[in-house]
Amino acid sequence: MQIVLLASGSTGNCALIEAGRGDDRVVVALDCGIAQRTGRDLAADAGLALTSVDAVLLTHAHADHSANVVAVAARAQAPLYAHPEVIDQRPQLRASEIARRRVELRPYADRASFQVGPLRITPIALPHDAEPTHGFVFESQDGQRAAYFSDLGRPEVLMEGVLDGVESLVLEFNYDPEMLENGPYPPHLAQRISGGLGHLSNDQAASILREACPDSLQQLTLAHLSRHNNRPRLAAEAARAALDDAGRSDLEPRVAPPKGVVYAGPAARPRV
């Protein structure tokens, strides 16, 4: 299994999950809040095709995640897995639009695992100001486990066993509290981001690693960094300190850029 990040942050998010081999191989698009053309080019950089994914999976209705999910599903003639309550939250997610584009909608529910080919997917509800928002745990047939958690305002939900056995983790490190406070954002926006339904600060994300870094973890990728209120160096330092505290000095956190291919693990890319 491999998580391939193509874009990460408020200018758009898109990832591909690749699992299985041969006839069993599937590629799942996780969110598409970037232009389709950009997504196609970035996927091609990774040797993958956004136009032939086997399924599309949506975390939540915010445009930086959802803008083009229906278009990608329509183009690939792939089903769209989404929580039923995100439907109709935006024009692009209207039930009528999904029907018009002949996209098959497959609703998922919190903590109810479902299968896409060899890939087992478990949605986990997250506290965020687009209700509902979900992160996901992915499990391959050979027992590899990866997780993708972004867009959450409080860290606690990830400290209750959700990360057990995870080998590869993509985790939001959104903002540095000092930069947010002294940055360009008006107070109401800064409050929304730092509130319990906003985004994880570097410190909050680091607290997850301190409290709940699983022994199984082999790869850590810091995602959804704010362009205005964070720096890759600050996020990486916060993660580094937390990993050291957790006795995991062996792990080297990586930072996902706003756009560009990052192989976030857990495995070396399967040869197909």
Cβ 102 to Zn ion shortest distance, Å = 28
User: Does residue 31 interact with Zn ion by CB under 5 A?
Assistant: no
First to last CA, the chain: 12
C-alpha 11/C-alpha 32 separation (Å) is 11
CB-based burial label for 197 (10 Å; 0-12, 13-18, 19+):
middle
- Alpha-helical segments (H) within the chain: 36-45, 63-66, 69-76, 95-100, 177-182, 187-194, 202-212, 232-245
Please report whether residue 167 would count as binding Zn ion according to CB under 5 A: no
If the CB atoms of residues 26 and 126 are measured against Zn ion, the closer one turns out to be: 126
CB contact at 8 A, 88 and 98: no
Residue 151 CB, nearest approach to Zn ion (Å)? 4
By beta-carbon proximity to Zn ion, the closer residue of 89 and 218 is: 89
Count of residues engaged in binding Zn ion, rule: CB under 5 A: 3
- Residue among 58 and 251 whose Cβ is closer to Zn ion: 58
Per-residue mark of binding to Zn ion, 96-135 (x: CB under 5 A): ----------------------------------------
Cβ nearer to Zn ion, comparing 139 with 151: 151
Q: Which of residues 145-164 bind Zn ion (CB under 5 A)?
A: 151
Q: Does 83 bind Zn ion (CB under 5 A)?
A: no
Binding mask 45-74 vs Zn ion (x if CB under 5 A, - otherwise)? Answer: -----------------x-x----------
Q: What string of DSSP letters covers 4-33?
A: EEEE-STT--EEEEEE--GGG-EEEEEEE-
199 binds Zn ion (CB under 5 A): no
The secondary element (H helix, E strand) that includes residue 169 is strand 168-172
* Nearest to Zn ion of 64, 176 (CB atom): 64
Which CB, 144 or 201, lies closer to Zn ion?
201
* Closest residue by beta carbon to Zn ion: 62
Going by C-alpha positions, the residue among 21, 55, 54 that lies closest to residue 141 is 21
Calpha distance 121→108 (Å, rounded): 10
| Footprint on this chain of Zn ion (rule: CB under 5 A) | 62, 64, 151
